[in-house]
Amino acid sequence: METIKTIDYEEEMGQDYVDYAMSVITERALPDVKDGLKPVQRRIIYSLSELTKSDSPHRKCARIVGDTMGKYHPHGDSSIYEGLVNLAQNWKLPIPLVDPHGNFGDLSGSGAAAMRYTEARISKYAEEGLKDLKYCEFMPNFDGTEEEPVHIPFLVPNMLTSGATGIAVGMATNIPTHNLEEVADAEIAYLDNPNISTEELLEIVKGPDFATGGIINSDRETLLQIYETGLGKIKVRGKVEIRDAGRGRRSICVTEIPFTMIGSTEKFLNTVADLTRQGKLPAVVDIADRGDKDGECLAIDVKKGTTDEEIEKILNLLYKKAGLEDTYSVNMNCIYNKKPEVMGLRRILQTYTEYKWEVYTAKYERLLADQKDVREVKSGLLEAVDVIDLIIEILRGSSTTKEAKECLMYGKTDDIKFRYKGSIDDAKQLHFTEKQTDAILAMRLQKLIGLEVDILMKELEEAEKKIAKYEKLLKSQAAMKKQMIGDIEELKKKYAIPRKSKIENLGEVVVEKEKVVATEETILLDRFFYIKSAPRAVFEKNPDTVRKFDINVMSTDRVAIFDNEGMVHIIKVSDILKKQNKKDKKFRITDKGIQIFEFCGMSHTADVVAMMNVADMTEDKNLVFVTVEGKAKRASAALFDTTRKTAQAIKANVVYVGYEDEYVVAETENGYSIKVRSDELPVQGKGAGGVALISLRRGDHVVSAISGGNEAEFGGMKLSDMKAVKRGGKGNKKGK
């Protein structure tokens, strides 16, 4: 029998979206604070550890990706391979977690070769983090056929040393990498003093440490605020050397790029080239990427005789305009107990250390149990050596293994045939444990040799020492803390590397603005949409120059173009001058000009109805719009002083745009005209369609309009000869 369930569609969709969002947040995009890894990264490393060792041959990446996808991460091979590549690139991670072999891309942005060509194995550092994995929690994989680790127990907070970047649903993460030695020292400091302040931690962790090096341009207060809250912005800057380029020239050589420039070095060089072509870097004579195996070198050669002061100005322009200094937004958002949380430095150390205590407790509880088993077995074997003749007699007199075991464990002698009757009483005194009994039954006779007995005694003594050590660690927090610190110190000795990124407070980059000398210009626009700017004095000497519109401007002004489709387009006069005054070409007023479409987004089907100087479009002036459909509106001219190149001015097709005067006059295709006082039109906003100016007859439409005073002329007659009426009338036929 069918059961029909009624659900609220909106509520169901909302819950489904929340479920999806949380899945992306917790299962894909954000790292877990306990090991600093996203699920795909954790699965790659675990799969690698099953396939390889740090000293074993590299394995094909296609095999690694296949194993990871088939066993643990069924979300497509491309995301797995991308994650594998990122874990191997030493310009992204100061200490990579994967040891690559083959083409894994480069710093300039070249991608890795296909997975069938590249090879990899687990790195020594990642292998170090997996040492205690067997003592950690595991969970079933996606289909329940395998088990995978819940976390990987790195000895220091991997989220800080390896960093993370990810975009989830409604949130993101951007955690910078840090120096291993500094992070290790911070963890030790936190273990010694859980009440340590962020300010004290900042004495240890100086700030981010990027694999590309460079300079972090930040003051202490900014870094303190970032590490307190987990949010903030820092400036990252490339490191530069001034080198001798030969022939008396010098070269500005970028030896370390900012982390944000990874994959964009070619774009940087192209930007420098563009700035040079624009005349903003006149001293630059050559640009090249001269990087080699010995290091990065984005070289910018300057003219012979360029002074230090001029080089400083070039550098400031490169910092400001070419991306040699950029902003890195820190967002230390991570997963803690299956929920996203933005954490500061102290909070990260706190949550990681809680996990570390869990791992160490589980580890030494397991080791203690193992050594107790060893003690049990070794002591049983030593006891067995003392009564070996009796044991041999029991074994020879037993019909089954079960009979022998019951005799050794419980002293049961009923079913055993003893050679000597006196042995029965001795056998009844036996009380070996099951583990001891199994070990005795498996014991080889060579264990009876004197030296072998000595080895058993030493093994028992060693087990007793380990048991004492492990019990002390589990009972004493101080002892456990000392063990943790010792392990961290050992890790530092093996893997710590010098800091790559310098931290300096260099302040804001100041670029002196070019002094622009404003010149008087006239903008000319013809009916074929060619626009040009002529010096006003030249135009006045050539008043017969062909044009549809002309307006006087300054070279620093902007021009507003209104088209018949209701759009306004803003063009800088300086842009027109740059385009027409190309190198080695002197502008002449007889030149055709440049098509207006190169400066704005005007449709090729539109026509220009007005051109104005934006500088004149002030709040105290209104513009009048008249549409083809017989509507009109007034609007403040200042509304159309926009930073956008193209914007909507009115939701209609227009025949006229002009400054407001006393009257508005319109004429239709069928010869009807109307004169209305301008103040009868309401002042409306940008985009509004206007109100009725003239009531059109069927099939008719407005073809021309004007706003003017009584002295103005329209259609061959003065406005004073026309009678003003209320807006919305049908108008009068010409001559009536």
Residues known to be catalytic = 117
Structure tokens at 613: 């100087």
Q: Which residue from 664, 645, 471 is spatially nearest to 572, judged by alpha carbons?
A: 645
Amino acid letter for position 106: D
- Alpha-carbon gap, residue 315 to 319, rounded angstroms: 6
Residue 129 CB partners (closer than 8 Å, separation 6+): 35, 152, 153, 154, 155, 158
Tally of CB atoms within 10 A around 256 = 21
The helix or strand, by DSSP H or E, that contains position 63, with its residue range, turns out to be helix 61-71
- Alpha-carbon gap, residue 216 to 6, rounded angstroms: 58
3-state per-residue secondary structure call for 658-706: EECCCEEEEEECCCEEEEEEHHHCCECCCECCCEECECCCCCCCEEEEE
Measured CA distances, 638 to 404, 459, 615, 634, 652 (Å): 106, 93, 9, 12, 20
- Alpha-carbon gap, residue 406 to 707, rounded angstroms: 118
Structure tokens at 346: 């102290």
End-to-end CA distance of the chain: 84
- Alpha-carbon gap, residue 374 to 732, rounded angstroms: 115
- Alpha-carbon gap, residue 151 to 171, rounded angstroms: 23
Sign of CA dihedral 265, 266, 271, 274: positive
Q: Which residue from 313, 286, 316, 314 is spatially nearest to 299, judged by alpha carbons?
A: 286
Helices (H), 193-296: 198-201, 220-229, 265-277
Strands (E), 181-221: 215-217
Residue 55 CB partners (closer than 8 Å, separation 6+): none
Structure tokens at 379: 């002591």
- Alpha-carbon gap, residue 150 to 139, rounded angstroms: 6
Helix crossing, 345-386 with 434-442: angle to 10°?
60
Tally of CB atoms within 10 A around 60 = 17
Helices (H), 572-642: 573-580
List % helix, strand, coil for the chain (3-state, nearest 5). Answer: 40, 25, 40
CB–CB of 260/328 below 8 Å?
yes
Torsion of CA 439, 444, 449, 455, to 10 degrees: -40
- Alpha-carbon gap, residue 130 to 633, rounded angstroms: 74
Sign of CA dihedral 196, 200, 203, 205: positive
- 328, β-bridge pairs: 234
Amino acid letter for position 544: D
Phi and psi for 365 in degrees, rounded to 5? -65, -40
> Which residue matches tokens 């050539």?
542
Amino acid letter for position 68: T
